[in-house]
Amino acid sequence: MLNLTINGKAIQVEEGTTILQAARDNGIYIPTLCYDEAVKVYGACGLCVVEAQGMPKLLRSCSAKCSEGMVINTESERVVHSRKIAMELLMSAHDGDCIAPCQLNCPARTDCQGYVGLIANGEYDSAIRLIKNKISLPASIGRVCPHPCESACRRKNVDEAISIAQLKAFAADVDLNGEKYIPEKSAPTGKRIAIIGGGPAGLTAAYKLAIMGHEVAIYDMMEKMGGMLRYGIPQYRLPKEILDKEISIIEGLGVKMNNGFKLGREITIDGLKSVYDAVIVAVGAWQSSSMRTPGEELDGVYGGIDFLRSVILGEPVEIGESVAICGGGNTAMDACRTAVRLGAKNVYVVYRRTRNEMPAEKIEIDEAEEEGVQYKFLTNPISFNGENGKVKSITLQVMELGEPDESGRRSPVPVEGKTEEIAIDSVIMAIGQKLVKEDVAELELTDRGNIKADIDTFETNIDGVFAIGDATNRGASIAIEAIGEANRCSVAVDAYLKGEEIDTRVPYISRRDEEIIDYSSKEKCERKRPKVLDAEYRRNNFDEVCLGYTEEEAQAEASRCLECGCREYFKCKLLNVAQRYDINPARFKGEMPQKYTANSNEFIERNSAKCILCGLCVRSCKEVMNISAIGLMGRGFKTEVAPAFNLPLDQTKCTNCGLCVQLCPTGALTEKSALKKQVPLNEDYSVKTVDINGESAQVLVGKYNGKTVSVSPFDDKARKADISREDLFELGK
């Protein structure tokens, strides 16, 4: 036996043991991507280096043997520096997406690709479970979200983006109309949390914290929960019956709902803090923004959210027959379409840019026009004119587009001396909303008049008080932004209550260069559009306009997904190591040595662009299976793994054993049966415990159409067993 020290720990090992094995046997982690006990040592990745006292060079622990008295450091400054360079070199030539662009662009980081794939395969129960990892109100959000996920969808580079939000609503509706999914709660923690505000942020935080085992109570100033989802979104877009069902699920988790409690009136932050262990302020932005236009004080001039709230409460303000809506966002669209339904004959949308620059969703703009709304593009109000204190007309400055502003949109500039006046009975200003500062007098505010909250922990100036949503930092935004903040805040509050720190470091992920992606081989397939009510019918009532997808339509639309994100994300050894270090592969960026190509047979898909040339697939195919269906072709940066003579896999000796797939540390090799459902292990791809030579071992079993098509060793016992492939296959069956 040899005596040595690794990271200050004295250990004994048998003579001939490698440093890597000695470390593993003693629970000490050393990263490696090219090592496996089933094959000979290769030393290709360069990640397993360690520093030995008294030795000038770093040692590759996979091959270096232990010696008496050795003192090893596996995480010294030199070691970490070397590993970072090795990882940067590997990742600079790794052409793949860890996470799909749609998910990255979702403020709540919803696994869009995952649930879209599950819907495509008819697995609606699994889809809603995946969605509800992030979104507690999917049926509601699916109807109203402006879906930033879709703007990042790569399918639009082929034809049109996937209808991700509509698919979310479909899966959620299936759930609401069946046995509603209710997540399992953790054991009670004994901690109590008060949430002020029952909008999407407050409800989401309550949902997440209740699942964590905390006792949660929401206090809201309105008669019912829902916030702007209830009091700012018209019934024709979001039926409140749907919202009620989703809120009842949150209440079913044990969340106490207290309505009619306004901050600064019935409750105070200090008062709640004396009773609860933590307080989350999610009061929203309930004050319409001013346009600073002369005449705003006249009767008949209303704020956008004030107008919408009055209608939803059943007490609509008087708007008359001619209405001007100022603004180009979704609130403006909600206001103008609501005005139509209230009977207004002339409804104008005044917007200072053109139709192309409108931030509202295109479908909202188009459907409003179908319902009779008239657009006054390139005009800007310069005065609201009144008579006897009541607005009678609006004077518009004619505009033209100048240079682009900071957002990239061309700035509107006045056309000197050119104006227009239109007679109106009311004006609705739909240009934004803000926090009612008086409600949060106990908290420190930003220069913009919003609650100041830490961007990572969401803590305010008062210990144990957190703030999220439209009331904080940058102000009002879309509901999915508030939901994303609520998810992250829940983790921060949970850590606060446990006395723990949260990791705010942004882990590394690989992203493809959008400019080099080739879509020429993708077949065009038209986006499935759900049916909507006829324009003439819908303008006379508040029935839900969109009728949603049928099951057949939903599966067809979901099947259009290009599946950009890596299916091996949760198992990827390459990513696991990359995220341990702060790396910058861009500094080694150059021409990609491999093309983004796919080569597959009936069961295995091979993508050489994700390959890091670790050699495990080549060596296992040769040394373990004695087949050599694939090999290393070329030299230097042009080297790639390929079948002999670059033949397709199904024209080689490959037996579909799956060993190469199992050992691959990236997503370069994937079993097709696992691809079908886009989950790492499922009924078509599972681990089975079998008896091999009297010992319990595990094998990886692949099935296709219910039949066993491949069995490969999964653990060390199975790999080292002296057993033929035929016998292994019989055991797997």
The region of weakest confidence among 396-400, 407-411, 472-476 is 407-411
Q: For all residues of the chain together, what is the average pLDDT? A: 91
User: When comparing pLDDT for 604 and 313, which is higher?
Assistant: 313
Q: Residue 526: CA atoms inside 13 Å, Cβ hemisphere, count?
A: 4
**pLDDT on residue 38:** 85
pLDDT in tens, 328-349: 999 999 999 999 999 999 999 9
CA distance 645 to 316: 75
**Encoded tokens for 83:** 């590993």
**pLDDT on residue 679:** 33
User: When comparing pLDDT for 545 and 648, which is higher?
Assistant: 545
- pLDDT-derived band of residue 442, with 50, 70 and 90 as boundaries? very high
Strands 669-671 and 322-326: unpaired
Rounded mean pLDDT of 657-685?
Answer: 66
Angle subtended by helix axes 304-312 and 330-341, to nearest 10: 40
pLDDT in tens, 540-595: 999 999 999 999 999 999 999 999 999 888 889 999 999 999 999 989 887 766 55
User: Which distant-in-sequence residues (6+ apart) come within 8 Å of 639 by Cβ?
Assistant: 593, 613, 632, 633
User: Which distant-in-sequence residues (6+ apart) come within 8 Å of 280 by Cβ?
Assistant: 193, 194, 195, 196, 202, 205, 458, 465, 466, 467, 468, 489, 493
CA distance 243 to 240: 5
CA distance 149 to 109: 9
Asked if the model's pLDDT at residue 281 lies above 70, the reply is yes
Which residues, in sequence order, are bridge partners of residue 631? 642
pTM of the model: 0.86
HEC string of 189-215? CCCEEEEECCCHHHHHHHHHHHHCCCE
Helix, strand and coil in the chain, % to nearest 5: 30, 20, 45
Alpha helix stretches (DSSP H) within 342-427 = 362-370
Residue 318, CA distances (Å) to 300, 321, 386 in order: 7, 10, 16
**pLDDT on residue 467:** 97
User: When comparing pLDDT for 357 and 646, which is higher?
Assistant: 357
Whole-angstrom distance between the N-terminal and C-terminal Cα of the chain?
Answer: 43
The region of weakest confidence among 75-79, 120-124, 466-470, 511-515 is 511-515
CB contact at 8 A, 429 and 289:
yes
**Encoded tokens for 353:** 């840019």
Asked if the model's pLDDT at residue 680 lies above 60, the reply is no
CA distance 552 to 134: 26
Which residues, in sequence order, are bridge partners of residue 258? 219
Asked if the model's pLDDT at residue 685 lies above 60, the reply is no
What share of the chain in percent tops pLDDT 70?
A: 94
Helices (H) and strands (E) in the chain, counts: 24, 28
- pLDDT-derived band of residue 650, with 50, 70 and 90 as boundaries? confident
Taking phi over 0 as left and psi of -120 to 50 as alpha, with beta for the rest, 653 belongs to: alpha
**pLDDT on residue 703:** 65
User: What number of other Cβ atoms are within 10 A of residue 680's Cβ?
Assistant: 12
User: What number of other Cβ atoms are within 10 A of residue 445's Cβ?
Assistant: 17
**pLDDT on residue 503:** 87
User: Which distant-in-sequence residues (6+ apart) come within 8 Å of 85 by Cβ?
Assistant: none
- pLDDT-derived band of residue 682, with 50, 70 and 90 as boundaries? very low
Burial of 229 (0-12, 13-18, 19+ CB in 10 A): buried
Which of 98, 106, 120, 99 lies closest to 150 in space, CA to CA?
106
User: Which distant-in-sequence residues (6+ apart) come within 8 Å of 406 by Cβ?
Assistant: none
**pLDDT on residue 726:** 67
Asked if the model's pLDDT at residue 284 lies above 80, the reply is yes
**pLDDT on residue 598:** 57
Strand locations in 27-175 (E): 49-52, 59-60, 71-73
User: What number of other Cβ atoms are within 10 A of residue 142's Cβ?
Assistant: 24
**pLDDT on residue 452:** 96
Residue 258, CA distances (Å) to 216, 218, 240, 261 in order: 11, 6, 19, 7
**pLDDT on residue 720:** 67
What share of the chain in percent tops pLDDT 90?
A: 75
CA distance 117 to 127: 8
Rounded mean pLDDT of 236-258?
Answer: 97
CA distance 242 to 256: 20
pLDDT in tens, 504-526: 888 999 999 888 888 988 999 99
Residue reference for tokens 């690794």: 6
**Encoded tokens for 498:** 């446990």
Burial of 688 (0-12, 13-18, 19+ CB in 10 A): middle
User: What number of other Cβ atoms are within 10 A of residue 732's Cβ?
Assistant: 19
**pLDDT on residue 360:** 94
pLDDT in tens, 70-99: 999 999 999 999 999 999 999 988 989 999
pLDDT in tens, 127-166: 999 999 999 999 999 999 999 999 999 999 999 999 999 9
The region of weakest confidence among 266-270, 415-419, 480-484, 625-629 is 625-629
pLDDT in tens, 165-210: 999 999 999 999 998 999 999 999 999 999 999 999 999 999 999 9
CA distance 175 to 351: 40
- pLDDT-derived band of residue 706, with 50, 70 and 90 as boundaries? low
The region of weakest confidence among 242-251, 353-362, 670-679 is 670-679
Which of 313, 311, 365 lies closest to 343 in space, CA to CA?
311
